[in-house]
A and B are shown apart, each in its own frame.
Chain A
Amino acid sequence: MATFEPVLSKYFNTPNSWTLDQYRSRGGYYGYETAKRAITQFEPKALTEEVKKSNLRGRGGAGFPTGMKWTFLPENGKPRYLAVNADESEPGTFKDRAIMGRDPHQLIEAIICSCWAIQSNNAYIFIRGEFVFEAKRLQAAIDECYRAGILGQDVLGLGKFKLDVTVIRGAGAYICGEETGLLSAAEGCRAYPKVKPPFPAVEGYFRNPTIINNVETIACVLHIVARGWEWFKKIGPESGPGPKLFGISGHVKKPGLYEAPLGVTLRSLIYDYAGGPIGEIKGIIPGGSSMPIMTPDQLDVPADYDSIKAAGSFLGSAGLIVFNKDTCIVNALLNLARFYHHESCGQCTPCREGLGWLEKLCHRIEFGHGHDGDVDLMNEVSVMIKGRTICFLADSLIMPVQSYIQKFRPEFEYHIIHKKCMTGTKAGEFAPLEGAALARA
């Protein structure tokens, strides 16, 4: 493991890291010094240009170049908004939560820089309802900023612009993490995604130009402004560089959140950071549960946007889920099918109905009622769903369905023929973890 000094998570374990006093005592780039420099030394367009040159790509899942997104804003005199996507709900992902809970001022300073660049006077942070603790920390930090004159009518007392930051809490809907679903929720509606185009940058929050970025993406902006795009671009591959928070969960010895440069191999993440797998690795989901599964022969693929894509999956939100060889792949797929079916907003028929069919098919295969031809039927259904919906939610199940079948087809067939799991586990159950505290009573 090459030595890499954490950037985003550097102060996560510092006592009182969430307070303004501690944030100011850090010196250097922190304490709103970077925001001051951004506002006084950069014209907004020049600042956008800095972000563009850094090649920063979105950390939420799609990996779209952030600077480029910012340049899509039209010059039409309408108010502009920044929506920070903190509705972290993709299974396997738990990174934004740490930024907001442990270092909220880092995010607020980054929001000031970003709002100056895109010339927005209002930022909304949409945080999932379950994160009560994180929402409180964030709100407390925002309140501190208002009292200190950092936010409000005159940002940092520089006489340049006004900025209000408002936290909106969701209430238990995965679909709020889809950018237009998020806007619908923030408009006081059911979180229905909207048809694109128009893209939110052109017509977003209440039909005004809106930039929607993930928490971690925005946090990166602070460090790009602080240390320059050249520095940022040197971390990892040039086409999608930067420090990255990797969440590693499932069958590893030390699950948790680790910061590493993009381009670190999956092997290094699992063995050097997460202490190695528990048992023998069967599959790795590289970027949150919706991404196609990878196999142990792909462990040396670097974890960056382009390399993972070339290996047939996506980096997504960089939440790694590791399966060991005792994991019944049909049961894993059933769990995900239940999740995505449950979280479908219900707008589009292929998603609302189709994901339910897939769940039922998985269920009957797992529980020994599968029919000959069910695997092909699942493939067929998935082909009919893919790309036929407003948003990406349905595709988020289709990718696992197709990749699990492609890579582990014999396990599905075994279930249908022998009416039991190839791994020897009971239908609907996962193998107990060796040495885990939760052996079945």
Chain B
Amino acid sequence: MTTTTTTLKPETIEAIKALTKRFPKPEGALLTAFRMAEREVGFIDAHVCEQVAEAIGMPPAKAWGTLSFYTTFRKDTDGKYIVWVCATLPCALRGAENVFDHISQRLGLKKDETSPDKLFTLKKAECLGSCGTAPCMQVNDDYYENLTFEKIDQIVEDLRAGKSPARHVTTA
């Protein structure tokens, strides 16, 4: 992970400080504070992590130790759209591997690769909790369920065109 010189806005620092009051100890706010920083900067690296730790009043090393445990905070090397294709058993039984192969071919990416234009990163996810609407995938914040090849093509096309794809939501 490279280190940038992004400085968090003062209002984000203030919001993190205010948030710490909702917890028995300020450290309780850490995961939520990471989310706030991620929303502002677009990713979290060592420098951003250090500022979050400072706002909370905890050692940066401890905050980094926590950050490095979790898999879904965005890194600065990630593409604009992170495509998580669920690969766990309930999805696998209904063709998740085919979904992955298809989207891999459409994007021209292998697992954990990012496109040169930094538009897409392709990943395999462990159970997304959408087993009743398998196969499924998540692109950034949004779930796409009951996937078919046609749906996948449409989603990729919409994302490439900068449009927000229809979500095909069935469970929520």
Contact = CB atoms under 8 A, between A and B. Distances in A.
Interface of A: 79, 81, 88-94, 97-98, 101-102, 122, 128-134, 137, 164, 166, 168-174, 185-191, 205-206, 208, 247-251, 255-257, 289, 319, 321, 323, 327, 332, 335-336, 339, 342-343, 345, 429-430, 432-433, 436-441
Contacts of A166: 22-23
Given A88-B129, A335-B92, A339-B126, A133 B141 contact: yes
B93 A208 contact: no
Interface stretch (B3-11, B26-34, B107-115, B157-165): B26-34
A172 B71 contact: yes
A190 B22 CA distance: 20
Interface in B129-152: 129-135, 138, 141-143, 147-149
A170 B171 contact: no
B24 interface: yes
Interface centre among B28, B66, B92, B131 (most CB of A within 10 A): B131
Nearest to A252: B132
A436 B94 contact: yes
B31 A171 contact: yes
21 contacts: A88-B129, A90-B127, A93-B129, A97-B129, A97-B171, A101-B171, A101-B172, A133-B141, A168-B32, A174-B126, A186-B31, A191-B69, A191-B70, A249-B132, A250-B131, A255-B133, A332-B93, A336-B89, A339-B88, A430-B95, A441-B102
Nearest to A175: B69
Contacts of A247: 131-132
Contact of B27 (A101, A170, A174, A188): A188
A122 B94 CA distance: 41
Given A170-B70, A172-B71, A441-B98, A130 B93 contact: no
B99 A438 contact: yes
A134 B142 CA distance: 11
B147 A438 contact: yes
Given A432-B95, A437-B149, A171 B73 contact: yes
Given A172-B71, A188-B29, A335-B89, A79 B130 contact: no
Contact of A206 (B24, B71, B135): B24
A164 B149 CA distance: 45
A440 B167 CA distance: 24
A130 B88 CA distance: 15
A245 to B, nearest CB: 11
Interface residues of B, number: 58
Contact of A343 (B98, B126, B171): B126
A255 B132 contact: yes
Given A101-B172, A335-B88, A206 B131 contact: no
B172 A321 contact: no
A187 B128 contact: no
B130 to A, nearest CB: 6
Contacts of B141: 132-133
Contacts of B30: 188
A219 to B, nearest CB: 15
Given A170-B31, A174-B126, A432-B95, 9 more contacts: A132-B141, A137-B172, A171-B34, A249-B90, A249-B94, A256-B171, A432-B98, A437-B148, A440-B98
A88 B25 CA distance: 25
Interface centre among B56, B66, B135, B147 (most CB of A within 10 A): B66
B16 to A, nearest CB: 12
A171 B75 CA distance: 13
A321 B169 CA distance: 21
B72 interface: yes
A92 B147 contact: no
B88 A251 contact: no
